Amino acid sequence: MKKLLVLFAGVLMVLALAACGQKSQDDVVSALDEKLSDMKGYKANAKMTLKMGTDPQVYDVEIWHKDPKFYRVNLKNAQKDQSQMILRNDEGVYVLTPALNKSFKFESEWPENSSQAYLYESLVQDIIEDKNLMFKATEKHYVFETKTRYQNNKMLPVQEITLNKKDLSPVSVKVMDTDRNALVTVEFSNVKFNSSFDKDAFDMKKNMTGAQLELPVMGEVKDEGFTVKYPVAELKGVKLTEEKEMKLEGGKRFVLTYEGEKNFTLVQEKAEVVETALVPTNIKGNPVDLGYTIGALSDRTISWTYDGVDYTIASEDLTPEEMVTVARSVQGMPVK
């Protein structure tokens, strides 16, 4: 009789917890999978803070997604009056730099097959695919800790994803290094699921024109030259062996040569404002998030523009991951 009473009490406890709305990890993951299947798109705003250099960089991010494959991610650095936009539509994947009137078109499947801290469906995919994820529920939130799926950055292996209990919308993401320091933090706001979009909301030309109208001064690039920057990431057995300054018609170009166990060249020159942006530059490669800007990564090179300067790293020896690591660290004085 006692055993029956204990068993009956246990059943009542389970029923009580269910009635209180307590959901298990499997329940929440299943609900996320279903939400992803039903979702037609969304609009969201976010503040992204990056701690990959000497000073934290803060970006305002506006995210639009229309199912199945239309994307518009607008990243603005308020401190430097500069912005970049990633677009994906039926014609391809584009990265726009409005201040320079530049547009690049990629032969890429971005953002598939890699983690993207500011894209909701990417975060949900990270949760669904990680069979060893950690889960906890608080009063208002579900918190997941998952592996990341960065193809070219194994330095950021884990992330903490916080979702709103009410509608499973994203609240925040912390992407951490191997020592569990949060190097990328994304805080979401104004998340609206199943939003409607204008017919030309993802059109490249319309978005370039609209972004340029928001600039304080269209196409202004500083005339006083620029300060040469050096990668602070250390590659074992690699040193700066030569630094050349070349005079060009419109300014200067600096070529830094690194040699040792692996060789590479870093080229820097002042970016020029393009006369017309009607025809984008085609790139065989993928857009890659460098933290402070969006770069173009191919097999042997990585190129990016930041603060009015064009940068290119070329190497026959560096892996794509190593090129991204070096590019992310181009910010300071040479390491002696």
Q: Indicate if the pLDDT at residue 220 is higher than 80.
A: no
Which DSSP state fits 118? T
Q: Is 227 exposed, middle or buried (0-12, 13-18, 19+ CB in 10 A)?
A: exposed
Calculate mean pLDDT across residues 232-260.
90
Mean pLDDT check: name the lowest of 37-51, 60-74, 127-141, 293-307: 293-307
Cβ atoms of 45 and 63 closer than 8 Å: yes
Asked whether the CA dihedral 97, 98, 101, 105 is positive or negative, the reply is positive
Q: What is the pTM of this model?
A: 0.83
Degrees, nearest 5: CA angle 164-88-215: 85
Residues 6+ apart with CB under 8 A from 282: 104, 105, 107
Q: How confident is the model at residue 285 (pLDDT cuts 50, 70, 90)?
A: confident
> How do residues 288-307 score in pLDDT, each as one tens digit?
888 778 899 988 999 998 88
pLDDT for position 123: 96
3 state DSSP class of 274: coil
Beta bridge partner(s), residue 265: 257, 314
- What's the rounded mean pLDDT across residues 134-145? 96
Q: Mean pLDDT throughout 41-61?
A: 87
Give the mean pLDDT of the chain. 85
pLDDT in tens, 161-175: 999 999 999 999 999
Which domains, from first to last, does the chain contain? 25-213 (2.50.20.10), 230-270+298-332 (no CATH)
Q: What is the pLDDT of residue 11?
A: 41
Identity of residue 288? V
How many other C-beta atoms lie within 10 A of the C-beta of residue 58?
14
Phi first, then psi: give them for residue 80, nearest 5 degrees. Answer: -110, 10
Token code pair at residue 146 = 């998952």
At which residue do the structure tokens 């951490």 appear? 176
Which candidate, 303, 275, 294, places its Cα nearest to that of 96? 294
C-beta atoms surrounding 286 within 10 Å = 21
Query: 50-54, 56-60, 113-117 — which is least confidently predicted?
Result: 50-54
pLDDT at 221: 44
**Helix spans in the chain (H):** 2-19, 25-38, 120-129, 204-213, 320-328
Q: What pLDDT is recorded for position 14? A: 39
Residue 101: the pLDDT is: 85
> What's the rounded Cα separation, in Å, for the pair 286 and 309?
20
φ, ψ of residue 12 to 5 degrees: the values are -60, -40
* pLDDT tier, 323 (very low <50, low <70, confident <90, very high otherwise): very high
The per-residue pLDDT for 334 is 44
Q: What does the pLDDT read at residue 136?
A: 96
In whole angstroms, what is the distance from residue 301 CA to residue 71 CA? 25
What is the structure's pLDDT at 5?
43
Whose tokens are 């803060």? That residue is 58
* 305 and 27 Cβ atoms separated by less than 8 Å: no
Phi, psi dihedrals of residue 198, rounded to the nearest 5°: -65, 160
Average pLDDT (83-104) is 90
Query: What are the angstrom distances between the C-alpha of 100 and each of 26, 275, 283, 296?
Result: 48, 9, 18, 16
